[in-house]
Chain A
Amino acid sequence: MYEGALADLIEELGRLPGIGPKGAQRIAFHILSADTHDIDKLADALKRVKQLVRVCEICFNVSEEDRCRICRDPRRTDENICVVEESKDVIAVERTGEFRGRYHVLGGAINPLEGIGPDNLRIRELMTRLQAGETKELILATDPNTEGEATATYLALLVKPMGITVSRLASGLPVGGDLEYADEITLGRAFEGRRVLD
């Protein structure tokens, strides 16, 4: 088939999520025929994102600084902390415009079948944050699927004895779906109608 640089590019593109062998080939030929200046910009963006973007030292959301934009914002407080699985979910909740607190990104959900236990997520870091005593409500916005529910159950068990109100997004989100795909109206409603776990 193809060889050398072109074959390498097709192979690398094919590793990306959502891109099959045909898609990889199409993108590779697009790159080949595109303006050199445009491709330099793309290559530069790829390099910069790896150099500059890391995770916030407080909430583990993606950030270009030690602390992310939300953790730096003085109008927001740790009084309400919203726990999500991934950085993508922060964007989803932000889009609803319902939430003025801060976030904590776990880095996934507890899934013993995949070898992910509580110690593999940023749960210890969350507990440290809560021990500062500023937080009144912890909102569990893990995905509306079995792993997300189980992770919420685990966190509620851990946090409730600290005297912090623990709430879970209202039902109405499509079960089995990813939080990031929920539209902002449905997610906003689920946020507003969140129930306190007791």
Chain B
Amino acid sequence: MRRRLFRDDAVVLRVQKLGEADHIVSMIGRRHGRMRAVAKGVRKTTSKFGARLEPFGHIDLQLVEGRNLHIVSQVEGIDLYGRRIAEDYAAYTAASAISETAERLTPIEGEPSLRLFQLTLGALRVLADREHPPALILDSYMLRGMHDAGWAPILVACAICGLKGDHRAFSIPAGGCVCRDCRPAGSAHPSPSALELMRALAVGDWKRAKDSVVGVRKEASGLIAAHLQWHLERDLRSLSYVERS
């Protein structure tokens, strides 16, 4: 049986060693969603092939379809962000957490997810360009990624009764901010500035987000991570390594 060749542009999320000389490349494609492919011989060769398949790069590639793993047959770099990201340690740790989040938000391989592809590409680009503090880029990415998945924390109304307003209590199981009347036992009471920061990050209001102080950022990122991991029903391994200074 002849195997189908197909082409897509993709963001490399993770690269793992396979055998003596190969890599398994995990990526999210514009049209094909999350996919995994074998890149043969990249660790031994002197060609540019390996450099193009490094984590966090935006690439254009041709793949041979496989049942479990595709095979990379050609690859061109569009924007290889890996090197610039690796030169900034905080950006590197944030990019790792973004990659893991992207993988978890796309549980089924081959299922198209254009919004998440665009979101991931955009986040890695601003990380490489040092546009905003890396940890804020990560938190904003998580909020928007959850939004696309349909379970972003509700921040401008009560998650239970729908009453509009900036409510003070926050309940992860309820789905976000909750009003006085609805708030379940065990709700958190974050500082108003932390919720304010989350609202700014959710809509990409960087000016307002960057006005926040370190303590508030930590509080907000704690809530965002807890919300994400509760819905994923698992912890993200890379989160504990994120540099937040």
Name A residues whose Cβ lies closer than 8 Å to a Cβ of B.
Answer: 17-18, 110-115, 117, 145-147, 149-150, 153-154, 157, 174-178, 181, 186
Give the total of B residues in contact with A, Cβ under 8 Å. Answer: 40
Q: Are B50 and A146 neighbours in the complex by a CB distance under 8 Å? A: no
- 26 sample A-B contacts, Cβ–Cβ < 8 Å, listed by A number: A17-B20, A112-B96, A112-B97, A112-B237, A112-B242, A113-B99, A145-B15, A145-B54, A146-B15, A146-B54, A146-B56, A146-B82, A146-B83, A146-B92, A150-B85, A153-B86, A154-B89, A157-B89, A175-B48, A176-B15, A176-B49, A176-B52, A176-B54, A177-B43, A181-B43, A186-B46
Q: Please indicate which of the listed interface residues B93, B237, B241 has the most CB atoms of chain A within 10 Å of its own CB.
A: B241
Please give, as numbers and ranges, the residues of chain B lying within 8 Å of A177 by CB-CB distance. Answer: 42-46, 50
Q: Are A176 and B100 neighbours in the complex by a CB distance under 8 Å? A: no
Give 3 nearest A-B pairs by CB, closest first.
A176-B50, A175-B51, A149-B86
B214 to chain A, nearest CB (A): 18
New contact pairs (18) apart from A150-B86, A175-B54, A176-B15, CB-CB < 8 Å: A18-B19, A18-B20, A110-B241, A112-B93, A112-B237, A112-B242, A113-B237, A146-B54, A146-B82, A149-B87, A153-B86, A153-B89, A174-B45, A176-B23, A176-B50, A177-B50, A181-B21, A181-B44
Q: Are B43 and A117 neighbours in the complex by a CB distance under 8 Å? A: no
Report Cα–Cα, A186/B44, bound state, in Å: 13
For residues 1 through 56 of chain B, which have their beta carbon under 8 Å from a beta carbon of chain A? 14-16, 19-21, 23, 42-56
Known contacts: A18-B19, A175-B50, A177-B50. The answer to whether A149 contacts B83 by CB under 8 A is yes
Q: Are A146 and B86 neighbours in the complex by a CB distance under 8 Å? A: yes
Q: Are B54 and A117 neighbours in the complex by a CB distance under 8 Å? A: no
Please give, as numbers and ranges, the residues of chain A lying within 8 Å of B15 by CB-CB distance. Answer: 145-146, 176
Please give, as numbers and ranges, the residues of chain B lying within 8 Å of A110 by CB-CB distance. Answer: 92, 241
Report Cα–Cα, A174/B51, bound state, in Å: 7
Name B residues whose Cβ lies closer than 8 Å to a Cβ of A.
Answer: 14-16, 19-21, 23, 42-56, 82-83, 85-89, 92-93, 96-97, 99-100, 237-238, 240-242
Q: Are B93 and A146 neighbours in the complex by a CB distance under 8 Å? A: no
Q: Please indicate which of the listed interface residues B42, B47, B99 has the most CB atoms of chain A within 10 Å of its own CB.
A: B42
Report Cα–Cα, A28/B53, bound state, in Å: 36
Please give, as numbers and ranges, the residues of chain B lying within 8 Å of A186 by CB-CB distance. Answer: 46
Please give, as numbers and ranges, the residues of chain A lying within 8 Å of B89 by CB-CB distance. Answer: 150, 153-154, 157
Q: Are A113 and B238 neighbours in the complex by a CB distance under 8 Å? A: yes
Q: Are A115 and B88 neighbours in the complex by a CB distance under 8 Å? A: no
Please give, as numbers and ranges, the residues of chain B lying within 8 Å of A112 by CB-CB distance. Answer: 93, 96-97, 100, 237-238, 241-242
Please give, as numbers and ranges, the residues of chain B lying within 8 Å of A181 by CB-CB distance. Answer: 21, 43-44
Please give, as numbers and ranges, the residues of chain A lying within 8 Å of B42 by CB-CB distance. Answer: 176-177
Report Cα–Cα, A114/B237, bound state, in Å: 7
Which chain A residue lies CB-closest to B94? A112
Which chain B residue lies CB-closest to A111? B96
Q: Please indicate which of the listed interface residues A175, A178, A186 has the most CB atoms of chain B within 10 Å of its own CB.
A: A175
Q: Are B237 and A174 neighbours in the complex by a CB distance under 8 Å? A: no
B96 to chain A, nearest CB (A): 4
Report Cα–Cα, A181/B50, bound state, in Å: 13
B192 to chain A, nearest CB (A): 31
